[in-house]
Amino acid sequence: MNIGVLGTGMVGQAIAARLAGLGHEVMVGTRNVAETLARTAPDPMGNPPFSAWHQHNAQVKLGAFAEAAAHGELLFNCTGGGASLAALKLAGEANLNGKVLVDIANPLDFSQGMPPTLSIVNTDSLGEQLQRAFPQVKVVKTLNTMNAHLMVNPSQLAGGDHTVFVSGNDAAAKATVSELLQSFGWQDIIDLGDISTARGTEMLLPIWLRLFGALQKPMFNFKIVR
Q: 132 lies in a domain?
A: yes
Task: Lowest mean pLDDT of 39-53, 92-106, 189-203, name the range.
Answer: 39-53
Q: How many domains does the chain have?
A: 1
Q: Which residues have a Cβ under 8 Å from the Cβ of 132 and sit 6 or more positions away?
A: none
Give the per-residue SS3 of the chain: CEEEEECCCHHHHHHHHHHHHCCCEEEEEECCHHHHHHCCCCCCCCCCCHHHHHHHCCCCEEEEHHHHHHHCCEEEECCCHHHHHHHHHHHCHHHHCCCEEEECCCCEECCCCCCCEECCCCCCCHHHHHHHHCCCCEEEEECCCCCHHHHHCHHHCHHHCCEEEEEECCHHHHHHHHHHHHHHCCCEEEEEECHHHHHHHHCCHHHHHHHHHHHCCCCCCCCCCC
pLDDT score recorded for residue 44: 74
- Binned at pLDDT 50, 70 and 90, residue 117 comes out as confident
- Binned at pLDDT 50, 70 and 90, residue 82 comes out as very high
Of the candidates 123, 116, 115, 180, which has an alpha carbon nearest to the alpha carbon of residue 154?
A: 180
Q: 223 lies in a domain?
A: no
Q: What's the CA gap between 117 and 113, in Å, rounded?
A: 9
Of the candidates 144, 117, 146, 116, which has an alpha carbon nearest to the alpha carbon of residue 130?
A: 144
User: pLDDT tens-digit profile of 3-36?
Assistant: 999 999 999 999 999 999 999 999 999 999 999 9
Task: Give the HSE-up count for residue 74: Cα atoms under 13 Å, Cβ half-sphere.
Answer: 19
Q: 178 lies in a domain?
A: yes
CATH of the domain at 19: 3.40.50.720
Contact 6, 68 (CB under 8 A): yes
Q: What's the CA gap between 112 and 84, in Å, rounded?
A: 20
The C-alpha angle 98, 99, 100, rounded to 5 degrees, equals: 130
User: pLDDT tens-digit profile of 186-223?
Assistant: 999 999 999 999 999 999 999 999 999 999 999 999 99
Q: What's the CA gap between 5 and 48, in Å, rounded?
A: 18
- The model carries a pTM of 0.95
Q: Which domain holds residue 206?
A: 2-215
Task: Please count the residues of the chain.
Answer: 226
User: pLDDT tens-digit profile of 155-185?
Assistant: 999 999 999 999 999 999 999 999 999 999 9
User: pLDDT tens-digit profile of 126-145?
Assistant: 999 999 999 999 999 999 99
Q: 80 lies in a domain?
A: yes
Q: 20 lies in a domain?
A: yes
Q: 220 lies in a domain?
A: no
Q: 221 lies in a domain?
A: no
Q: 226 lies in a domain?
A: no
pLDDT score recorded for residue 46: 79
pLDDT score recorded for residue 86: 97
**Is the pLDDT confidence value at 42 over 90?**
no
